[in-house]
């Protein structure tokens, strides 16, 4: 299934995209694509519905973030060996974890702000893992039991804030609009193999990133299990699993960074695509 949220910020309706690409209103079935609605039982009930019996929604509406009320936005750093090397670092022995503020979350086609004082804004196409049921101390072989599905994430970053302003990475990852997610949450049954999905990202029509989730150092099962040893994962939490090479800071002979007035497009096989315009940060 492809689940999404349609409408203006703060007023999104839960929806389903049927096999004929018709948007169907789920607001009579669930309150939101969030929390308990992501449980295996609720997803099974939605899957059993006849989409043709659900009201159709008009086309052309804004697509919101595919998950609402996200509790934790957990990111995995340097999870592609070739990306680690392009940043001048060795591949990690264990997953590197950091948090991205949930206030950074926006829809897949919303504008991305370039922060005030920014000179190194960057892009990162990533596979997002959406938790569907509580996970604490789970084993790798049971990890997928706790996953509702997957989504496309642009882990927008400001490298000078991230690496030159002291502390950890969070301040470079958390500006408003730095977390576009969606367009859809694709349930696990509709993703053939999360460890073999092609990924790409363009800036102004120039291909910058090309990769595949099969080259992740730590796969989805390992990450869900690993993170659950340190914190309880709750329904609606999102794990952004790392990016392939081709980020702006790794460009040769000189880094290339985002500026207002550009267009970012990105996608992951089976998970859809995003398109964002970069703008100056609003007050």
pLDDT in tens, 148-158: 999 999 999 99
Binned at pLDDT 50, 70 and 90, residue 1 comes out as very high
Report pLDDT for 91. Answer: 86
Report pLDDT for 164. Answer: 85
**110, pLDDT greater than 90:** yes
Binned at pLDDT 50, 70 and 90, residue 214 comes out as very high
**27, pLDDT greater than 90:** yes
Within a 13 Å sphere around the CA of 170, how many CA atoms are in the beta-carbon half? 12
In CATH, 64-280 is 3.90.850.10: yes
> What average pLDDT does this structure show over 13-17?
98
DSSP class of residue 117? T
Binned at pLDDT 50, 70 and 90, residue 85 comes out as confident
Report pLDDT for 18. Answer: 97
How do residues 118-144 score in pLDDT, each as one tens digit?
A: 999 999 999 999 999 999 999 999 999
Angle at the Cα of 268 (from 263 to 274), degrees rounded to 5?
Answer: 30
User: In whole angstroms, how far apart are CA 113 and each of 116, 162, 178?
Assistant: 9, 16, 8
The phi, psi pair for 158, rounded to 5°, reads -115, 105
Report pLDDT for 54. Answer: 97
What is the rounded average pLDDT for all residues in the chain? 96
The phi, psi pair for 81, rounded to 5°, reads -60, -40
User: In whole angstroms, how far apart are CA 172 and each of 159, 177, 247, 266?
Assistant: 6, 12, 15, 21
**84, pLDDT greater than 80:** no
Pairing of strands 147-154, 121-122: unpaired
How do residues 165-192 score in pLDDT, each as one tens digit?
A: 887 889 999 999 999 999 999 999 999 9
Report pLDDT for 231. Answer: 98
Report pLDDT for 172. Answer: 95
**89, pLDDT greater than 80:** no
Report pLDDT for 130. Answer: 98
DSSP class of residue 183? S
**88, pLDDT greater than 90:** no
Binned at pLDDT 50, 70 and 90, residue 283 comes out as confident
> What average pLDDT does this structure show over 220-238?
98
3-state secondary structure of 267: strand
């Amino acid at each position: 299934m492809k689940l999404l949220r349609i409408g203006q910020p703060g007023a999104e309706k839960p929806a389903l995209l049927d096999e004929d690409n018709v948007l169907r209103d789920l607001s009579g079935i669930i309150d939101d694509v969030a929390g308990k609605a992501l449980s295996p039982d609720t997803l099974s009930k939605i899957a059993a519905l006849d989409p043709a019996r659900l009201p159709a929604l008009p086309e052309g509406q804004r697509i919101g973030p595919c998950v609402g009320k996200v509790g934790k936005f957990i990111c995995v750093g340097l999870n592609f060996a070739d990306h680690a090397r392009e940043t001048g670092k060795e591949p990690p022995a264990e997953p590197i974890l950091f948090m991205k503020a949930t206030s950074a979350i926006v829809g897949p086609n919303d504008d991305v702000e370039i922060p005030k004082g920014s000179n190194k804004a960057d892009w990162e196409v990533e596979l997002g893992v959406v938790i569907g049921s509580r996970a604490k101390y789970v084993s790798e072989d049971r990890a997928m039991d706790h996953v509702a599905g997957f989504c496309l994430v642009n882990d927008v970053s400001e490298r000078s804030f991230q690496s030159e302003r002291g502390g950890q990475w969070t301040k470079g990852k958390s500006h408003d609009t730095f977390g576009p997610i969606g367009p859809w949450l694709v349930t696990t049954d509709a993703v053939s193999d999360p460890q073999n999905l092609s990924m790409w990202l363009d800036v102004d029509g120039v291909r910058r990133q090309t990769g595949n989730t099969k080259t992740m150092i730590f796969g989805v099962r390992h990450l869900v299990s690993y993170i659950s040893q340190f914190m309880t994962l709750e329904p609606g939490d999102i794990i952004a699993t790392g990016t392939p090479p081709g980020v702006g800071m790794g460009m040769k002979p000189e880094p290339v960074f985002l500026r207002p007035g550009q267009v970012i497009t990105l996608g992951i096989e089976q998970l859809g695509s995003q398109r964002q315009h970069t703008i100056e940060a609003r007050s």
